[in-house]
Amino acid sequence: MDFNFFNIKKNAEKFQSFFLDLIFPIECLGCGREGAWLCSACFKAINLKPEQYCLNCKKPNDFGQFCPPCRINYDLDGVWIAALYDDRLVARAIKSLKYYFVSSLAGDLSKLLISFVDTLLEQARIVRPELAAGLAWRSFRKIQGLPSALLNFKGNLIVPVPLSKKRLRWRGFNQAEILARTFVGHYGREMNGRDLVRLKHKKPQAKLSEAERLYNLKDCFVWRGADLGKRNIILIDDVVTTGATLNECAKVLKANGAGEVWGLVVAKG
């Protein structure tokens, strides 16, 4: 019964997307050219975020880590933000991915994550030799922020921020998981999209104050997997606002043995 219903639903979705393509041909969200949601010219014109900062106080730094005074309030080590949401095209692409499932957009947005992480890794590579060159005060200051998740990138476990079962059923897909899958495919890392479980979605976060957001998310996530044995985690999501969701995931992951936990998102909303 359930199975049949699923098939009918799936076929209806296929028919619907065929029908929508017929009346709304695929056009670039940037320039309107037909054929792709994000044409290669518009994709190339998107700027990666030039500077990372502490998400809490916005003080610029090299790796998006929380600075020491802000750290106290977070379990998350920091957040890597790939592009600027002020970029009209980035904002439109994220909204289109989330609300009108367009899988090719997930591919494009993952490409943004990938080129961004490549620059982070390059930066880490440049900073690393300074470790060996003796600790001049300047390099020491730099190295303090150098995440072990970047130094040992191969060791990371990639975890998409989950949706609750109910929300997943309603939306039909988890955009964070699609982003994570492409990311993992590119770097050949390991992904776990199963064991971090979101039990509930309460009121939409956007309507709440910052303090309410933290309370709102309390006990929303559980880790159902084995002990993480100090493994570093990269949590992937489409956007970050205050970081409350990422931080709640980090809290649960660290309670289950995770080492560093970093957020990686397309943009800050």
| Residue 46 lies near Zn ion (rule: CB under 5 A) | no
Q: Report the nearest approach of Zn ion to the CB of residue 16 (Å).
A: 25
Q: How many residues are given for the chain?
A: 269
For residue 9, the minimal CB distance to Zn ion (Å) is: 33
Using CB under 5 A, count the residues that bind Zn ion. Answer: 10
Q: Which of 37, 42, 250, 266 binds Zn ion (CB under 5 A)?
A: 42
118-157 burial code (b ≥16 CB/10 A, e <16): eebeebbeebeebeeeeeeeebeebeebbbebbeebeebb
Does 135 interact with Zn ion (rule: CB under 5 A)?
no
Residue from 167, 164, 174 nearest 197 by CA? 164
Of the residues 30, 64, 160, 259, which one makes contact with Zn ion according to CB under 5 A: 30
Tell me whether residue 228 or residue 246 sits nearer to Zn ion (CB atom): 246
Handedness of CA 242, 248, 253, 259 (dihedral sign): positive
CA distance 161 to 235: 6
Near Zn ion by CB under 5 A: residue from 8, 12, 20, 31: 31
**Does residue 249 interact with Zn ion by CB under 5 A?**
no
| Least Cβ distance, residue 66 to Zn ion (angstroms) | 6
DSSP letters, 201-261, are --S-GGGS-HHHHHHHTTT-EEE-S---TT--EEEEEEEESSSHHHHHHHHHHHHTT-S-E
Q: What is the DSSP letter of 154?
A: G
45 lines the binding site for Zn ion (CB under 5 A): no
Among 56, 156, 216, 232, binds Zn ion (CB under 5 A): 56
Q: How far is the CB of 223 from Zn ion (least distance, A)?
A: 27
- 128's tokens: 């690393």
Query: Which residue, 70 or 197, has its beta carbon nearer to Zn ion?
Result: 70
- Separation between Cα atoms, residue 44 and residue 50, nearest integer Å: 15
**Among the candidate windows 41-49, 110-118, 222-230, 251-259, which touches Zn ion by CB under 5 A?**
41-49
Q: What minimum distance in Å lies between the beta carbon of 263 and Zn ion?
A: 15
Distance (Å, whole) CA 175 – CA 84: 18
Residues 62-91, interacting with Zn ion (CB under 5 A): 67, 70
Which parts of this chain interact with Zn ion (CB under 5 A)?
28, 30-31, 39, 42, 54, 56-57, 67, 70
